[in-house]
Chains A and B, each alone.
Chain A
Amino acid sequence: AQSVAQPEDQVNVAEGNPLTVKCTYSVSGNPYLFWYVQYPNRGLQFLLKYITGDNLVKGSYGFEAEFNKSQTSFHLKKPSALVSDSALYFCAVRDRNGGYQKVTFGTGTKLQVIP
């Protein structure tokens, strides 16, 4: 079985400071990893994905994530937070050897950027 853990329900960061939203995963094989963002009353929007290759993945809105196989982590980062980054962030994983196996989402982390 595959699973995702987002250990922080909420992360608070001051505007202009770097931010990190943590994610660890568990799959039996090699993972596909994703980050999504959800603004209030909206659907989830794709931010970035790791499929293969460079462990540092760059995505939308200046976000990036680092795949660390030994620590089974895929933390989301941004060098300088904006108030408009305040939203709910979901990490997700799929076993690349799982055929049509569904993507499993984490429980979400609320990011609050303080002006």
Chain B
Amino acid sequence: DSGVTQTPKHLITATGQRVTLRCSPRSGDLSVYWYQQSLDQGLQFLIQYYNGEERAKGNILERFSAQQFPDLHSELNLSSLELGDSALYFCASSGREDYGYTFGSGTRLTVV
């Protein structure tokens, strides 16, 4: 157990639907990062939050949004889902700036 908790582990939904992925960071970590991993595009950075504020944005689609709550958990909202959104979505957290990230086990999203 890495200390980063992601739910659900698996999600199957239809095109056009909306889903919410949840992440609880490791205790004490203020930064949360979201990544998308698909077979043909590797690990793509989506967005970063630090202590409730958006800190950096990557290749995140307008149909996707995220937030970090006062208790530091984060949610990634994916709407108007398309088949191409099927992927593994990882959350990671970090504490001190000279450490790497601690990753959760991911949410596998399948859009049918």
Contacts and interface: CB of A to CB of B under 8 A. Distances in A.
Interface in A60-115: 90, 92, 96, 99-108
B102 A100 contact: no
A44 to B, nearest CB: 4
Classify the interface of chain A: helix, strand, loop or mixed. loop
Contact of B100 (A36, A96, A108): A36
Given A43-B90, A45-B103, A102 B98 contact: no
A92 B100 contact: yes
B99 A49 contact: yes
Size class of the A contact interface (CB-based, 8 Å): 20 to 34
A25 interface: no
Given A44-B90, A105-B43, A108-B42, A100 B55 contact: yes
Contacts of B24: none
Given A102-B56, A105-B42, A34 B100 contact: yes
Contacts of B31: 100
Given A100-B31, A102-B56, A108-B43, A43 B98 contact: no
A104 B45 contact: yes
Interface string B41-69: 01101001010000110100000000000
A43 B45 contact: no
A46 B93 CA distance: 12
Contacts of A101: 56
Given A49-B99, A105-B42, A107-B42, A100 B56 contact: yes
Given A34-B100, A103-B100, 9 more contacts: A44-B43, A44-B90, A46-B100, A46-B101, A51-B98, A102-B56, A102-B58, A105-B35, A108-B42
Interface of A: 32, 34, 36, 41-46, 49, 51, 90, 92, 96, 99-108
Interface of B: 2, 4, 31, 33, 35, 42-43, 45, 48, 50, 55-56, 58, 90, 92, 97-106, 108
